[in-house]
Structure 1
Amino acid sequence: MGQHFLLSAKARSISVRDIARLGEEESYALFRSIRFSENDGAPYCPHCGIDAVYEYRARRLFKCQGCEKQFSVTSGTVFRSRKMSYADIMLAVVLFVNGVNGNAALRLSRDLGCSYKTAFVLSKKLSRAMAAMQAETILTGTVDIDGVYIGGSVRQENLVADRKSDGRKKFNTKRRSIVTARERRPGGRSRSWVVATEGAADPYIKKVVSAAAHVVTDEAPAYSRYFLHYEEHSTVNHSVGLVIDGVHTNLVEAQHSRIRRAERGVYLRISGNHAQRFADELSWRDDFRRLDNGQQFRMVMSRALILKPDAELTGYWQTRPERLREIGRRRALRALTLKRRGRPSAPISTYSAPANQ
Structure 2
Amino acid sequence: MNFKSLPQLLDYFKEEKTCIEYYEQIRWDGKPVCPHCGCERTYKTTRGYKCANNECYKKFTVTVGTIFHGSKISLRIWFAAIYLATTHKKGISSVQLALDLGITQKTAWFVLHRIREMLKDKAPQMLGENNMVEVDETYIGGNNKNRHYGKKRSQVDNTLTNSGEVYQPKKMVVGIIERNGKVALKHVPSADLNNIGALISKHVPKGSTIYSDEAPVYSHLKKYYTHDNVKHSLNVYVENGVHTNTIENFWSVLKRGLYGVYHQVSAKHLERYLDEYSARFNTRDLSSQERFEKFLIDSESVLSYKRLTNINKAS
TM-score of the aligned structures, taking structure 2 as reference length = 0.84
Question: 2:49 matched to 1:62?
Answer: yes
RMSD value over aligned CA atoms? 2.4
Match of 2:225 in 1: 231
2:24 maps to amino acid: R
In the TM superposition, residue 297 of structure 1 has moved relative to its aligned partner by: 0.9
Q: For the structure 1 residues 50 and 116, does the alpha-carbon distance in structure 2 shift closer, same or farther, using more than 3 Å as the test?
A: same
Tell me which of 110, 115, 118 is aligned to 1:129.
Answer: 118
2:139 maps to amino acid: Y
Question: 2:82 matched to 1:93?
Answer: yes
- C-alpha deviations, 1:187-239, integer Å up to 9, x for none? x22210112333243322222221121111000122122112x2311100123
Contact kept in structure 2, 1:153 and 1:172, CA below 8 Å: no
Secondary structure class of the residue paired with 1:178? strand
Secondary structure class of the residue paired with 2:298? helix
Q: For the structure 1 residues 315 and 83, does the alpha-carbon distance in structure 2 shift closer, same or farther, using more than 3 Å as the test?
A: farther
Q: Give distance in 2, aligned partners of 1:70 and 1:217.
A: 54
In the TM superposition, residue 316 of structure 1 has moved relative to its aligned partner by: 4.8
Question: 2:134 matched to 1:140?
Answer: no
Q: Which runs of 5+ in 2 are unaligned?
A: 148-164
Q: Give distance in 1, aligned partners of 2:166 and 2:186.
A: 20
In the TM superposition, residue 276 of structure 1 has moved relative to its aligned partner by: 0.9
Question: 2:245 matched to 1:255?
Answer: no
Contact kept in structure 2, 1:137 and 1:191, CA below 8 Å: no
Question: 2:36 matched to 1:47?
Answer: yes
In the TM superposition, residue 314 of structure 1 has moved relative to its aligned partner by: 3.4
Q: Give distance in 2, aligned partners of 1:156 and 1:296.
A: 39
Match of 2:161 in 1: none
Q: Give distance in 2, aligned partners of 1:156 and 1:95.
A: 32
TM-score of the aligned structures, taking structure 1 as reference length = 0.74
Match of 1:34 in 2: 26
Instruction: Name whichever of 80-89 and 189-198 sits farther off.
Output: 189-198
Match of 1:198 in 2: 191
Q: Give distance in 2, aligned partners of 1:23 and 1:13.
A: 16
Correspondence 1:200-219 to 2 at 5 A: 200-219=195-214
- C-alpha deviations, 1:21-47, integer Å up to 9, x for none? 3222222222222221xxx31212123
1:42 maps to amino acid: K
Match of 1:108 in 2: 97
Q: Give distance in 2, aligned partners of 1:156 and 1:181.
A: 29
Q: For the structure 1 residues 315 and 226, does the alpha-carbon distance in structure 2 shift closer, same or farther, using more than 3 Å as the test?
A: closer
In the TM superposition, residue 282 of structure 1 has moved relative to its aligned partner by: 0.8
Q: Give distance in 1, aligned partners of 2:94 and 2:217.
A: 35
Question: 2:107 matched to 1:118?
Answer: yes
Correspondence 1:243-322 to 2 at 5 A: 243-304=238-299, 306-307=300-301, 309-310=302-303, 313-314=305-306, 316=308
In the TM superposition, residue 315 of structure 1 has moved relative to its aligned partner by: 6.2
Moved over 4 A (4+): none
Secondary structure class of the residue paired with 1:129? helix
Q: Give distance in 1, aligned partners of 2:183 and 2:307.
A: 32
Question: 2:49 matched to 1:71?
Answer: no
Contact kept in structure 1, 2:87 and 2:280, CA below 8 Å: no
Q: Percent of pairs identical after alignment? A: 30
Q: For the structure 1 residues 211 and 240, does the alpha-carbon distance in structure 2 shift closer, same or farther, using more than 3 Å as the test?
A: same
Q: Give distance in 1, aligned partners of 2:70 and 2:178.
A: 39
Q: For the structure 1 residues 328 and 194, does the alpha-carbon distance in structure 2 shift closer, same or farther, using more than 3 Å as the test?
A: closer
Q: Give distance in 2, aligned partners of 1:240 and 1:117.
A: 46
Q: Give distance in 2, aligned partners of 1:194 and 1:156.
A: 23
Contact kept in structure 1, 2:139 and 2:170, CA below 8 Å: yes
Tell me which of 145, 150, 171 is aligned to 1:155.
Answer: 145
Task: Work out the number of aligned pairs and report it.
Answer: 288
In the TM superposition, residue 79 of structure 1 has moved relative to its aligned partner by: 1.5
Q: For the structure 1 residues 79 and 174, does the alpha-carbon distance in structure 2 shift closer, same or farther, using more than 3 Å as the test?
A: farther
Question: 2:11 matched to 1:17?
Answer: no
Q: Give distance in 2, aligned partners of 1:315 and 1:280.
A: 17
2:303 maps to amino acid: D
In the TM superposition, residue 146 of structure 1 has moved relative to its aligned partner by: 0.6
Q: Which runs of 5+ in 1 are unaligned?
A: 1-11, 158-169, 318-324, 333-347, 349-357
- C-alpha deviations, 1:236-281, integer Å up to 9, x for none? 0123321012211111111111111112221111221111111121
In the TM superposition, residue 328 of structure 1 has moved relative to its aligned partner by: 6.3
